[in-house]
Amino acid sequence: MKLLPTDRTRVLRIALVTLLSFGAVLLALAILQHVLVPVLVWVAPALERPFYDLGLFGPYPTQEYVSFNLSSPRASIVQWDESCDDGYVFLDPNGPSVDHRGPLIVDAKGHLVWTSDAFETTTNLKLQEYEGAEYLTFWSGHKAKTMGTGLYYMMDNNYTIAHTVDAVGQGLHGDLHEFKITKDNTALLTVYNLTNADLTGMGWFRGANGWITDSVFQEVDIATGELLFEWSASHHFKAELSFMWNPFGGYSDSSPFDFFHINSVEKDRNGNYLISSRHFHSIMTVDGKTGEILWELGGHSTDFEDLSDGKASGFSWQHDARWINEDEGLISLFDNGVAWPHVDVPYSEGRIIKLDFDAMTAELVQNFISPSHPRSSSQGSIIPLRTPEGADHIFIGWGSSAAFSEFTPEGQLLCETHFAASGLWWWERIKSYRAYKTPSWSATPRDWDPSAQIESGSVFVSWNGATDVAFWELSGRKAIEGGAGEWQVIDIIEKDDFEDSFILPSSGRASFDEYRVAALDRDHGFLRYSNTTSPSAPSGFLGFLSYALMVLSALAVVAGVVGYWLGKKKGWSPDWRRYAASAQAVIDRSKYQKLW
């Protein structure tokens, strides 16, 4: 159908207004985020925290570096107490906004210590002991929705891989949910296995050869790779008892039903296994010899009388069930309470529960609630922590809500750090499967040195992963005929952050042709030299032109705003219809008129 001239004008006008409106919105957002917000924060620093959580810095603000090629989360401290000051936090950021999904260590205030892009998606980074030595352990591999296939890595304190562990069995691979080293120097790991199962009890035309994702855990000898124990949920539970709802699950191998969803395993002193089933809303103990269920808390068939009006056994979609004290019957878990589309509670929380095996009762000892009220639809962790001063704390990672918190055992919040905007947690642009904290970690990279880079008249220096650096020493030397002069110490500064900087000497006798930085320990002992770096030559005409264009663009924006304001003040208003008609006339006279 041929458009009339009036119709063409209307279409052109709508398209033009839509395009200009979209551009105006993008420009307004850019000005808000990159100009207005920084200015307001500079004028009133107290606004930084609420602006951060509102997402005005973006859903996942990051910190960039001059001397290091990777970014890290730019954290926001919501609440702070000096008792949280020591230690290192282990995270594994992943999500659509994360540029590299590798392991991440930060200090207690969220400043980068170490990260790597040498791995695929990483989860479950923590410090564990094996044969008397400490290792960084984590899973890395291919993540597919709520499970994964990959390997478990064990790194020494030089960040070199000392051991790798995989699941045992044809076609089986380690899953992202668990890698726990036992006191017997064995590893507990989870496996998600696609297999057939009788799903007639679920109805809706599912048959005896339906498809499930079976939850399996194994105990493996780390040194030899020998399989010591294996347990499968499908041998003990029926899929129709699952609380998870999936109307399309189970009909084919391309859409199996994840009915059980194991997410933590721990071996107790009697050789039995404490496991957590997210989709059965229960934690249970598996007999270490027969595989039979010894007891179950929560879910359809809890074996304990709840003395806390359901608060000890009424958790749902939970993670990270652990023994805190077997003698006292104390268990911790992270109660998500949410698994989209299921929403059982207004917010997630950590819990400590006491079990009495003589009376077979369960009682809530303490819950841990953040004032931010994170509603974590997946992931999460809770661990007891002993500070260097001997105080007991409870450390919680909020899983799909990008934050970690530290509490007293009585539930009082001491510290909380967000590494994404809390107002956008529901978007889940970044999350960390678990978060761990340890009071100490000492590491010196073997395969890389400190990195130094000159920019804007300063030398920037960092050493990814080095924990023992206390001072930086800047040295310089001049070029002489036939070689280079002696290195001369210019300045020594205290290490303050992941990346620190020296202001270079001004041109003249005090300047040098080459610079390097030495990493020093707290006793000023030498650790390692950085690369040698030299000031770049003046950028010349191109640099001047780039700077001039930037200044002219800024002046044009200011002139446009001022001109518009003066025009409005004098009552001038542009006739956009006349302009649109003129533009249409030009188009109508063009040789491409037939396209309209």
Contact 65, 71 (CB under 8 A): yes
pLDDT of res. 347 = 97
Domain 451-529 belongs in CATH node 2.60.40: yes
Alpha-carbon torsion angle 102, 108, 113, 119, nearest 10: -10
Q: What is the mean pLDDT of residues 79-106?
A: 96
**What whole-number percentage of the chain has pLDDT above 70?**
85
**Of 510 and 141, the one with more pLDDT:** 141
| Pairwise CA distance, residues 453 & 473, whole Å | 14
Residue 255 DSSP code = B
Name, in order, each residue with C-beta under 8 angstroms of 495's C-beta and a sequence gap of 6 or more: 469, 470, 471, 472
**How far from 188 is each of 16, 167, 191, 211, 282, CA to CA, in Å?**
62, 10, 10, 26, 19
Q: At what angle do helices 5-31 and 576-589 cross, to 10 degrees?
A: 120
Rounded CA Rg of the chain: 30
- SS3 assignment, position 354: strand
Phi, psi of 53 (to 5 degrees): -75, -20
Among residues 296, 285, 154, 169, the alpha carbon closest in space to that of 223 is found at 154
With a cut of 80, say whether residue 369 has pLDDT above it: yes
pLDDT of res. 575 = 56
- Residue type, position 256, single letter: P
The whole-model pTM stands at 0.86
Looking up tokens 């199996």 gives 256
Contact 530, 517 (CB under 8 A): yes
pLDDT of res. 591 = 38
Looking up tokens 């985020």 gives 33
Looking up tokens 């189970």 gives 250
Q: What is the mean pLDDT of residues 293-317?
A: 96
Q: What is the mean pLDDT of residues 154-165?
A: 98
Burial of residue 496, with CB atoms counted within 10 A of its CB: 0-12 exposed, 13-18 middle, 19 or more buried:
exposed
pLDDT of res. 581 = 56
Q: Where are the extended beta strands (E) located within 64-119? A: 72-73, 76-79, 88-91, 93-94, 104-107, 112-115
With a cut of 80, say whether residue 392 has pLDDT above it: yes
Burial of residue 186, with CB atoms counted within 10 A of its CB: 0-12 exposed, 13-18 middle, 19 or more buried:
buried
Residue 571: both structure tokens together: 């009552």
Residue 148: both structure tokens together: 């994964």
Terminal alpha carbon distance of the chain: 11
**pLDDT tens digits for range 128-147:** 999 999 999 999 999 988 89
With a cut of 50, say whether residue 592 has pLDDT above it: no
Residue 228 gets the label, from left (phi > 0), alpha (psi -120 to 50) or beta, of alpha
What is the enclosing helix (H) or strand (E) of 547?
Answer: helix 540-569
Q: Which CATH superfamily is domain 62-438 in?
A: Kelch-type beta propeller (2.120.10.80)
Alpha-carbon torsion angle 198, 201, 202, 205, nearest 10: 80
Contact 577, 584 (CB under 8 A): no
pLDDT of res. 595 = 30
Phi, psi of 421 (to 5 degrees): -65, 120
**How far from 18 is each of 12, 494, 582, CA to CA, in Å?**
10, 54, 19
Among residues 271, 273, 281, 266, the alpha carbon closest in space to that of 312 is found at 281
Length of the chain in terms of residues written: 596
**pLDDT tens digits for range 453-488:** 999 999 999 999 999 999 999 999 998 887 888 999
The confidence band for 536, taking pLDDT boundaries of 50, 70 and 90, is confident
pLDDT of res. 1 = 54
pLDDT of res. 10 = 73
pLDDT of res. 546 = 52
The confidence band for 41, taking pLDDT boundaries of 50, 70 and 90, is confident
| Pairwise CA distance, residues 354 & 358, whole Å | 12
Residue 546 gets the label, from left (phi > 0), alpha (psi -120 to 50) or beta, of alpha
Write down the domain spans for the chain.
62-438, 451-529
With a cut of 50, say whether residue 182 has pLDDT above it: yes
Handedness of CA 494, 500, 503, 509 (dihedral sign): positive
| Pairwise CA distance, residues 308 & 316, whole Å | 16
Contact 206, 247 (CB under 8 A): no
Residue 226 DSSP code = -
Name, in order, each residue with C-beta under 8 angstroms of 206's C-beta and a sequence gap of 6 or more: 199, 200, 250, 251
pLDDT of res. 331 = 98
Strands 361-368 and 305-306 come out as parallel
- Least-confidence region, from 156-160, 238-242, 570-574: 570-574
With a cut of 70, say whether residue 201 has pLDDT above it: yes
Residue 87: both structure tokens together: 């230690």
Quote the mean pLDDT of the chain: 89
| Pairwise CA distance, residues 345 & 582, whole Å | 60
| Pairwise CA distance, residues 280 & 301, whole Å | 10
Residues paired with residue 364 on neighbouring β-strands, in sequence order: 353
Vertex 144, ends 138 and 147: CA angle to 5°?
A: 55
What is the enclosing helix (H) or strand (E) of 277?
Answer: strand 273-277
Residues paired with residue 154 on neighbouring β-strands, in sequence order: 137, 163
Q: What is the mean pLDDT of residues 18-29?
A: 69
Contact 394, 369 (CB under 8 A): no
**What whole-number percentage of the chain has pLDDT above 90?**
76
